[in-house]
Amino acid sequence: MTSLALAPSLWTRVRAALLLMIAGVALAGCGYNNIPTLEEQAKARWAEVQNQYQRRADLIPNLVATVQGYAKQEKDVLTSVVEARAKATSIQVTANDLTDPAKIKAFQDAQSQLSGALGRLIAVSENYPDLKSNQNFLALQSQLEGTENRIAVSRRDYIGAVQAYNTELRTFPGMLWAMTFFRGNQPMVPFAAAEGAQTPPKVQF
């Protein structure tokens, strides 16, 4: 009697599990997972942008110290680099801030100012042959060039990831999920650097 009484209950649970599986497959097939997937991809791309900018910031103290050893009279240029670095590293943009245009702009502006200051510092080295031939300086400028190239690549990848995510929110069928299950999701702000900021400082001689 007991086994017969349990059979309908067991069948109900099995049927419910099957319905959940079918619903899950249907939702996945309709693009339900696209928004969170693209969102995480964009956040990961942003993390790489920050990683490369931090890599650049980490190179600057040694670069400034090396230049200072040969060009102490270039105090204004050296000071501007140190100050620009301090400002750039003080602005933190988390993954949750990627929908805030003001925070993204502040980050971009600070990084652009640092790029400009670095460009002036590199230009100053042209006036000091001993500095240009210094092995430490040569190694640092090579690392800086590589880092600037990685910044450009990571920034490009972030822009592409944001474009894919924002497009999903605004086109069918993603817009249906955005209006229902993902109503809290907002478009992210693409990286739109100021004119000239896409060009890395010239560090080759």
Contact between 99 and 189 under an 8 Å Cβ cutoff? The reply is yes
Contact between 190 and 197 under an 8 Å Cβ cutoff? The reply is no
pLDDT (tens digit, 0 to 9) for every residue of the chain, 205 residues total?
444 444 667 777 767 666 666 555 455 556 789 999 999 999 999 999 999 999 999 999 999 999 999 998 899 999 999 999 999 999 999 999 999 999 999 999 999 999 999 999 999 888 999 998 999 999 999 999 999 999 999 999 999 999 999 999 999 889 988 998 899 999 999 987 554 444 444 444 3
Domain 34-179 falls under CATH 3.40.50.150:
no
The pLDDT of residue 18 = 63
**pTM given for the model:** 0.80
Q: Residue 179 — φ and ψ, nearest 5°? A: -85, -10
75 by Cβ neighbours in 10 Å (0-12 / 13-18 / 19+) ranks as: exposed
Contact between 89 and 57 under an 8 Å Cβ cutoff? The reply is yes
* 8 vs 3: CA distance, rounded Å: 10
- The answer to whether the Cα torsion of 203, 154, 157, 169 is positive or negative is negative
